[in-house]
Amino acid sequence: MKMKKRAFLTGACLLVAGMMFVSCEKEEGSGTGGNEKAKILATVDMLPTSQVSYLLPIQDISASNPTFDEAQEIKTSNYIVPYKDWVFIVEGMSGGDVRKFSRNDNGTLTELGRINVGGASATVSHVCVISDTKAYATAMMDNKIVIFNPTTMQKTGEIDVAGKGYGINQNDTPNPMGMFLRDGVVFCGLGQFSQPPMAVDKGAYMLLINAETDQIIKMISDNRLTSATAIGESGMFLDEKNDLYIPCWGSYGFNPEHHSGLLRIKSGQTDFDPDYCFQLTGRELPEVQGGKLQYVMNYHYAGNGDVYFFGYCPAFASTPADFVNDKTNYSFKGNIYDCTANVLDLPRSNAYSCAINHYGDKVLFGVVSESNGVGLFAYDRKNGECSTSPVINIQGSILSLKIFD
């Protein structure tokens, strides 16, 4: 109905504009369409009243109230992997497809193709683009890495990781998840699930793959933290020294022995750095209600050692947990070198909305707050100020956020 009204109004506007020979400008702040490619992309879940989510293009940070007119329908809990002007949508636990979109010059998106990756389990965890003609997609529950041509979206091969000894505790299934390409080597986190999201045992495990030969180089592990990378998001990042940081989600803290935080593989190395562990589960954090976090996810590195993340605080969880009304997630600013973290003065969010990225000096947090609004809140790195309301209003849970500077 709304669409029909909108179409009618649009038609009426065009008619009037044509008669008056004046150009019709887009609605201020709508963030829809324009003369350049969308600089911000977000996946937005509308759960629980709708099982449809959206890939939402936003012109830039000035679009304070973007509409969903140009949004593309996707499944729930989908994630974005950008590569040049392509955008890959990874269906995570809700489907086995990787979908490819292009960012158009008029701010819209066009779907260019798709490939089914997780044929047996209907899950796909992540995409890592090696080149214009080669990409990896992790079929987490199929336990293989599908190699495909991202230009044609055709499968060209696969790396079977099942039954090769990479599963722990006599499991055949290491569950490949997030990936990162550094110096010709793809670092692939392993879930090692007993049942998602629980790992079968503590420890962070990764496969190292030669991106040229597609051969598995080796598996590495570290017992200090658990569950390297995450479903849908690699979360891994490089600092200015080419050191690779690997987030570990720690089975959402459901097992108290499974800790979350960051591990590191130094530049030129292929093993975890034994001297580095930024453990966040159980760490005493005086600004946090109850003093401790249950788990941490969705890290974003903004440079100069600054890392931003959400932390789940169990002190705000009802018994039993109320996923909608409990505002459990603090926004944090941390430092990867001195392993410190401070709560930012942003409203707490529920645990669904968890996307972070930065746009210039502004670090954007997807927040569903109780009384301050819903959308992207900003932390200004220049002056250290936090917005008290969304700088971009987006209704829904923002799962993934990509910025194209």
Partner 1 sequence: MGPMAHKVVNISMSPDKIMLGAVEVVGIGERKSIRDAKDQGVPVTVIDGKMLAGRGTTISEVLNHQTGVKLRQTGGVGSQTKINVRGLEGNRVQIYMDGYALNTPDGNFSINDIPLQFIDRIEIYKGIVPPEFGGDGLGSAINVVTISTDKDFYDFSYKYQSYGVHDAVATLRHFFPKANIAMTLYMNGIHALNNYTIESPFIEGLKIKRDHDRLRMLDFAVGLDFLNGYFDKAEVELLGYLNNKQMQGIETNIRHTFTHGQTYGANFNFEKKSFLTKKLDMKLNAGYLFINSGLVDTCSYITDFDGNVRPNTVRGEMGAIPNLSDDYTHDARYNLNLKYNLLPEGKMSINLNNDLRYVNMEMNDDEAGRSLGRNVSGLSSDIIGAITSLSFQNRWFGNKLTSVVTGRHYYFGMNGETVDLTYPGSGDTPVNTDRGGNYFGYSLALKYDITRQWALKGALEHNYRLPRSEELIGDRMTIMTNPLLEPEEAYNYNVGVLYDYYYHNESRLQFEANTYMMNVENMMYMISQFNYYKYQNLGKALLYGVDAEVKWDINRHWFVSCNATWQKSLDNTKYVLGTNTPSQTYRMQLPHIPILYFNWMVDYRKDNLFGGKGQYTRIYYEGGYTDKYYYGYELSKYQNYKIPSACIHTLGLEYGILNRKVIFGMECHNLFDTPEMTNFNYPLAGRTFTLKVRFTTLDW
> 88 vs 295, which CB is nearer to partner 1?
295
- How far apart CA 180 and CA 188 sit, in angstroms, is 7
To partner 1, the closest distance from the beta carbon of 153 in angstroms equals 11
To partner 1, the closest distance from the beta carbon of 235 in angstroms equals 17
> 146 vs 236, which CB is nearer to partner 1?
146
> 89 vs 141, which CB is nearer to partner 1?
141
> 15 vs 321, which CB is nearer to partner 1?
321
CB distance 211 to 152 below 8 Å: no
> 251 vs 357, which CB is nearer to partner 1?
251
- How far apart CA 84 and CA 95 sit, in angstroms, is 24
Chain positions contacting partner 1, by CB under 8 A: 1-3, 46-52, 54, 68-73, 93, 95-97, 114, 116, 119-122, 141-144, 162-163, 171-173, 175, 193-197, 252-256, 294, 314, 319-325, 327, 350-352, 368-371, 373-374, 395-396
To partner 1, the closest distance from the beta carbon of 312 in angstroms equals 10
Handedness of CA 105, 109, 112, 118 (dihedral sign): positive
DSSP single-letter state for residue 168: S
Smallest Cα–Cα separation from 351: which of 313, 390, 301?
313
To partner 1, the closest distance from the beta carbon of 305 in angstroms equals 31
Handedness of CA 67, 72, 74, 78 (dihedral sign): negative
> Please, what is the Cα angle at 96 between 93 and 102, to 5 degrees?
105
- How far apart CA 218 and CA 213 sit, in angstroms, is 14
Tokens read off for 65: 């109230």
Beta bridge partners of 363: 358, 379
- How far apart CA 56 and CA 41 sit, in angstroms, is 6
In angstroms, the first-to-last Cα distance of the chain is 36
Q: Cβ of 269: how many Cβ atoms within 10 Å?
A: 12
CB distance 305 to 316 below 8 Å: no
To partner 1, the closest distance from the beta carbon of 62 in angstroms equals 20
Q: Which residues contact 7 (CB under 8 A, 6 or more apart)?
A: none
> 60 vs 201, which CB is nearer to partner 1?
201
DSSP single-letter state for residue 372: S
To partner 1, the closest distance from the beta carbon of 252 in angstroms equals 5
CB distance 228 to 166 below 8 Å: no
> 2 vs 241, which CB is nearer to partner 1?
2
At 289, the amino acid letter reads Q
> 171 vs 221, which CB is nearer to partner 1?
171
Tokens read off for 137: 């997609």
> 113 vs 184, which CB is nearer to partner 1?
113
To partner 1, the closest distance from the beta carbon of 330 in angstroms equals 16
To partner 1, the closest distance from the beta carbon of 262 in angstroms equals 21
To partner 1, the closest distance from the beta carbon of 337 in angstroms equals 31
CB distance 85 to 117 below 8 Å: no
